Amino acid sequence: MTPLPRLDGALCVVTGGTSGIGYGAALGLARLGAELVLPSRDLERGEHTAAAIRKQTGATVWVRGCDLGALSSVREFAEGYLRTFRRADVLVNSAGALFPTRQLTPDGFEATLAIDYLGPFLLTRSLLPALARAGRVGAPARIVNVSGEYHRRVRLDLDDLQLERGYGLVRAGAQAVLAKLMFTVELARRLPPGVTANAVHPGAVRSGLLRNLPWPLRIAAALARPFMLGPEAGAETVLYLAASPDVAEVSGGYFARCAPLEPAAHALDPEACRRLWEASAALTEGARGLTNALRG
């Protein structure tokens, strides 16, 4: 594996940067010299994280408000981003949440789907003009979506994306990582030249996600904790996809441990990926004005 190059001057947007894999990714990118923008639903937590990253790396870090569970907040963040920063070299979609019981967001969506997938879907499409701008002037801009092996455990039911017919925390989390993987496959097909998109299985990572598990799973997670990866090790493949020259031209792939991994066949079904894209676009409608850099 070629050593990761310096990213001095690169501007990287990292969601979920306050915790877990997103924090590991933000820190790693900052160590490589990148400047960071951290969309954060809690500005105080975001600033606290930014200060910790600045202290360890000397990097320039901006924090901007963005609640991925509210489409209006995602739109506001994206519009502000395009006005202020104009370009983005890397977008890491790592934010996520799990809920023991079915919750609805202000937009009326099941919360796991909204925060882990629909918000990032809208964010990514909305930041496309900034990514396309970076891609034109230098190395391809890169989108890295944190998915996971749980995608193998579910099939997407487009008639019940909101899990009205039967909610479970594991099912909701698995559906969200499957949707992120299928989104990555379809996104890669639609992206203009100069921008790539890949998905990651980070491994089992010690993170804030475990806080919301019901107690039997929490006990299992506590027992497994010593064997789980820390945030920086959990972000290794994210960093690889964001920075390595080895994958500069690779798009639409799924990676674990810095190597390609074959996803479940149902995650690659072109018709299902297309239908998910269309359903997601309809659910997040209003993004269209910002997304003319994308086909469809």
Per-residue x/- track, 165-204, ligand NAP (CB under 6 A): --------x---x------------------------x-x
Cα 202–269–265 angle (5° rounding)?
55
Per rule CB under 6 A, is residue 42 in the interface with ligand NAP?
yes
What is d(CA 149, CA 177) in angstroms, rounded to the nearest whole number? 8
What is d(CA 197, CA 184) in angstroms, rounded to the nearest whole number? 6
Residue type, 47: E
CA distances from 153 to 95, 174, 267, 284 (A): 21, 7, 11, 26
Which one among 68, 92, 185, 293 touches ligand NAP, defined by CB under 6 A? 68
Which one among 57, 94, 126, 244 touches ligand NAP, defined by CB under 6 A? 94
Which one among 22, 28, 135, 253 touches ligand NAP, defined by CB under 6 A? 22
Q: Which is nearer to ligand NAP, 139 or 233 (CB)?
A: 233
**Tokens matching residue 242:** 């964001």
Contact 194, 141 (CB under 8 A): yes
Which one among 10, 16, 59, 188 touches ligand NAP, defined by CB under 6 A? 16
Q: How far is the CB of 76 from ligand NAP (least distance, A)?
A: 13
Q: How far is the CB of 294 from ligand NAP (least distance, A)?
A: 22
Name the burial class of residue 47, with classes exposed (0-12), middle (13-18) and buried (19+) by CB atoms within 10 angstroms of its CB.
middle
CA distances from 157 to 76, 185, 272, 276, 289 (A): 30, 18, 10, 10, 28
Question: Using CB under 6 A, which of the segments 41-49, 132-140, 261-269, 278-286 binds ligand NAP?
Answer: 41-49
Footprint of ligand NAP on 207-236 (CB under 6 A): 207-209
Interface positions with ligand NAP (CB under 6 A): 15-16, 18-22, 41-42, 45, 66-69, 94-97, 115-116, 146, 148, 173, 177, 202, 204-205, 207-209
